[in-house]
Amino acid sequence: MAKFKFHKVAAAAVLVGFAAWMGTGKFSSVGSASTETEAAQGEARPAKPEAAPKAPRSVAVVTPPRVQHERAIHLSGQTQADKRAILATRGAGIIQELPVKQGDLVRAGQTLLVLDAEDKPAMVETAQQLVRQRKAELEAAQRLAKTGTLAKLSLDTTVSALAQAESQLKAAQADLERLKVVAPFDGIIDSVDVELGSAVAQGAQVATLLSLDPVVVKGEVSERDLAYIKSGDKAEARLVDGEKVTGTVRYISREAATATRTFRVEVAIPNPDERIPAGMTAEITVRAAPADAVVLPRSVVTLSANGDLGIRAVDKDNKIVFFPIDLMDDLTQGLVLGGVPADASVVVAGQDLVTEGDVVNPVPADEQLIKKLVGEVAASN
């Protein structure tokens, strides 16, 4: 008899075992039995106790005292000359005199350049002689007219001749004056563009004259801050070397720049020795009229849910409220803020851990810090 192979014997054993398990009927209740067991265990497990309500968060609050402070409006600017003139010749010729050089201080009416006169002085002298002659002729004609020996028409002709001679004299004198270039105002010679002895055409550029007293600092003010400044307000300019100079607002443009929607502001600063040059970068601070404000540390300023800059305070129901602020000045010792109600309990510690509408436990903060800030600001005013 042929021997059975091992794998056939193993297959037959598995088949017999599977048939026996199917006969028990237990396979249909495996999943449900497990579910019932878990449900029974869940019913037996005790319910979790509900979480206790959280206590209100404590925040430090203070009611800051009020101060009267001048609003500070900061502008970026540049120094410029009060007056600037490019001087040019009114005639053509050879430069005969050039008595000035770069850096010279000159006065209004001072001669800066003279061209070769050629025959122009002689033309003036001839015109003067002709005027004297015509005057003598007019005097003689007037005497004859009084005696009745000269017709009125002849007298009128003599008068016209004198007027014509005087006109020729003025033209000759003006032609001679055009050979000179004079300073139109007091200032400093910033550049000389010609040399002694060179030939120049009519209208040639000769020199640049600057008037630096006062020196003018020009900046741009935003339309938001325009309402707070006016001509005559005091202003301060800090130069790039750290020097601070004071002046007054002398002009505010009435038309905004199209691209930036800002208005030009000019601050005049006394500069008697003309040591402050034109073209220097400066930071302008304009001081507006004093207004009601509070002084608080920088740390109290926060952002609302909408991204607005302001402070958080506690109302009478101990709820957090938000007040947008008006930054009037940024001093070394703290911030001067407008827009804060007089009776506001400002949160000075924990303001970033709460939001509007939260109920909190307000705790009085150290008011001595706030009083110290107010005292320093009052002293600086």
pLDDT-derived band at 80 (thresholds 50, 70, 90) equals very high
pLDDT reported for residue 9: 53
pLDDT-derived band at 159 (thresholds 50, 70, 90) equals confident
Q: In the numeric block, which tokens belong to residue 338? A: 């407008």
Identify how many contiguous H helices and E strands the chain contains and give both numbers. 5, 22
Contact of 127 with 172, CB cutoff 8 Å: yes
pLDDT-derived band at 162 (thresholds 50, 70, 90) equals confident
Q: Which tens digits make up the pLDDT trace of 13-53?
A: 555 555 555 555 554 444 444 445 444 455 555 555 555 56
Q: What is the CATH number of the domain that holds 78?
A: 2.40.30.170
Say if residue 244 is in the same domain as residue 194.
no
pLDDT-derived band at 4 (thresholds 50, 70, 90) equals very low
Q: Specify the pairing of strand 234-239 against strand 244-252.
A: antiparallel
Residue that terminates a domain, selected from 266, 290, 314: 290
Say if residue 197 is in the same domain as residue 303.
no
Q: What is the CATH number of the domain that holds 206?
A: 2.40.50.100
Across 1-5, 161-165, 206-210, 325-329, the highest mean pLDDT is recorded for: 206-210
Q: What is the CATH number of the domain that holds 336?
A: 2.40.420.20
Residue 326 domain-assigned (yes or no): yes
Q: What is the CATH number of the domain that holds 151?
A: 1.10.287
Mean pLDDT, the chain, rounded, equals: 82
Contact of 284 with 252, CB cutoff 8 Å: no
Distance between CA atoms of residues 175 and 185, nearest Å: 22
pLDDT reported for residue 369: 64
Residue 41 domain-assigned (yes or no): no
Residue 165 domain-assigned (yes or no): yes
Say if residue 228 is in the same domain as residue 142.
no
pLDDT reported for residue 28: 46
Neighbours of 218 (CB within 10 A): 17
Distance between CA atoms of residues 39 and 42, nearest Å: 5
Q: Which amino acid is at 173?
A: Q
The total number of structural domains in the chain stands at 4
Residue 112 domain-assigned (yes or no): yes
pLDDT-derived band at 131 (thresholds 50, 70, 90) equals confident
Say if residue 286 is in the same domain as residue 335.
no
Helix or strand or coil: residue 85?
A: strand
Residue 4 domain-assigned (yes or no): no
Say if residue 201 is in the same domain as residue 350.
no
pLDDT reported for residue 45: 58
pLDDT reported for residue 101: 92
Say if residue 156 is in the same domain as residue 300.
no
Say if residue 296 is in the same domain as residue 367.
yes
Residue 270 domain-assigned (yes or no): yes
Q: Please, what is the Cα angle at 14 between 12 and 20, to 5 degrees?
A: 105
Long-range contacts of 172-175 (CB under 8 A, 24+ apart): 172/120, 172/123, 172/124, 172/126, 172/127, 173/124, 173/127, 175/91, 175/120, 175/123
Say if residue 279 is in the same domain as residue 195.
no
Say if residue 225 is in the same domain as residue 78.
yes
pLDDT reported for residue 22: 56
Say if residue 311 is in the same domain as residue 356.
yes
pTM of the model: 0.61
Q: In the numeric block, which tokens belong to residue 336? A: 């001067």
Return the percentage of the chain with pLDDT > 70, whole number: 81
Say if residue 78 is in the same domain as residue 226.
yes
Say if residue 281 is in the same domain as residue 136.
no
pLDDT reported for residue 282: 93
pLDDT reported for residue 40: 47
pLDDT reported for residue 177: 80
Residue 26 domain-assigned (yes or no): no
pLDDT-derived band at 1 (thresholds 50, 70, 90) equals very low
Average of per-residue pLDDT across 198-221 = 92
Distance between CA atoms of residues 113 and 293, nearest Å: 60
Range of the domain at 354: 58-68+292-380
Distance between CA atoms of residues 344 and 303, nearest Å: 17
* Nearest one of 300, 270, 276 to 369, comparing CA atoms: 300
All residues at 6 or more sequence positions from 249 whose CB lies less than 8 Å from its CB, including other chains: 229, 230, 231, 232, 233, 234, 235, 265, 266, 267, 286
Average of per-residue pLDDT across 180-184 = 91
Residue 236 domain-assigned (yes or no): yes
